[in-house]
């Protein structure tokens, strides 16, 4: 059976990772970004309308006021709406969702490995501390990539404009002044990353302490006089 200290460290690592999974699971269903734009008819220079797009990872709501003529509120599915209209946005949005799914998978593996180590003494294989390091590191790295890709999709592509153009009742419009504000779903990825790193730190702390203790136990023998070590 493992020592109490080892059990506590690996259980704490599993707990940190479990909390991170709960956060990212909730975040995937929450709002990620809110984008506002000024709107005008194509033949007018007077931007008297506005459009507000609120997105989760999978669906969204567009609220139009005098854009282009009247106002309305419409709900839509993100990827089906973008398909065939904005290829770059579809690819980036799909990547974000796939990477988050991988984050959940690697986090689940990290939890299982941590729990296994808390009740047993496996050899130094992928089922030991190395497994936690690999899984949690991948989770942290992929989550950082998600943060970057989503911002790129919101700011560097015409994703928001595509949603507005689809729901302007076939009337051409001009859009300007796009401003995006990240929402709770996006920001929950940050504590997920931090907790994944904390899970690694907990295991590393135990491993470092165990290694130091082992070296200290060997030191008296290494420092003993030669004539004593011969007997």
CATH class of segment(s) 4-200: mainly alpha
Q: Mean pLDDT over residues 141-166, rounded?
A: 93
**Residue labelled with tokens 């419009």:** 173
Q: What is the pLDDT of residue 211?
A: 62
How far is Cα 99 from Cα 148, in angstroms, rounded to an integer? 12
Token pair, residue 221, equals 């023998």
Convert the pLDDT of each residue in 182-212 to its tens digit. 999 999 999 999 999 999 999 999 887 766 7
Q: What is the DSSP string of 47-110?
A: --EEEEEEE-SSEEEEEEESSSSS-EEEEEEHHHHHTTT-HHHHHHHHHHHHHHHHHHHHHHHH
- Cα distances (angstroms) measured from residue 193 to each of 53, 144, 174, 188, 197: 27, 7, 39, 9, 6
Break the chain into its structural domains and give their ranges.
Answer: 4-200
**Residue labelled with tokens 């909730």:** 26
Convert the pLDDT of each residue in 29-87 to its tens digit. 999 999 999 988 877 777 888 999 999 999 999 999 888 777 789 999 999 999 888 89
Q: Mean pLDDT over residues 152-171, rounded?
A: 86
Helices marked H in the chain: 4-29, 78-82, 87-119, 129-156, 159-166, 184-187, 189-223, 226-229
Convert the pLDDT of each residue in 80-138 to its tens digit. 999 888 899 999 999 999 999 999 999 999 999 999 988 888 767 778 889 999 999 99
Task: Please say if the pLDDT value at position 23 is more than 90.
Answer: yes
Task: Please say if the pLDDT value at position 231 is more than 60.
Answer: no
pTM of the shown model: 0.87
* Other CB atoms within 10 A of residue 51 CB: 27
């Amino acid at each position: 059976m493992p020592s109490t200290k080892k059990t506590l460290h690996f259980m704490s690592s599993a707990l940190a990772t479990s909390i991170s999974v709960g956060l990212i699971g909730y975040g995937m269903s929450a709002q990620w970004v809110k984008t506002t734009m000024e709107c005008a008819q194509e033949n007018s220079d007077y931007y008297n309308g506005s459009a507000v797009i609120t997105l989760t990872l999978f669906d969204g709501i567009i609220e139009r006021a005098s854009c282009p003529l009247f106002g309305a509120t419409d709900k839509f599915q993100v990827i089906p709406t973008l398909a065939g209209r904005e290829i770059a946005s579809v690819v980036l949005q799909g990547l974000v969702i796939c990477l988050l799914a991988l984050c959940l998978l690697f986090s689940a593996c990290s939890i299982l490995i941590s729990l296994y180590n808390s009740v047993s003494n496996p050899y130094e294989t992928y089922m030991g501390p190395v497994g936690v390091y690999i899984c949690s590191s991948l989770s942290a790295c992929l989550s950082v990539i998600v943060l970057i890709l989503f911002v790129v999709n919101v700011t560097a592509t015409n994703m928001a404009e595509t949603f507005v153009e689809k729901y302007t009742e076939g009337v051409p419009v001009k859009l300007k002044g796009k401003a995006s504000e990240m929402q709770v779903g996006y920001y929950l990825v940050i504590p997920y990353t931090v907790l994944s790193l904390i899970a690694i730190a907990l295991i590393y702390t135990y491993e470092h302490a165990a290694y130091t203790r082992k070296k200290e136990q060997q030191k008296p023998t290494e420092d003993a006089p030669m004539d004593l070590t011969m007997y």
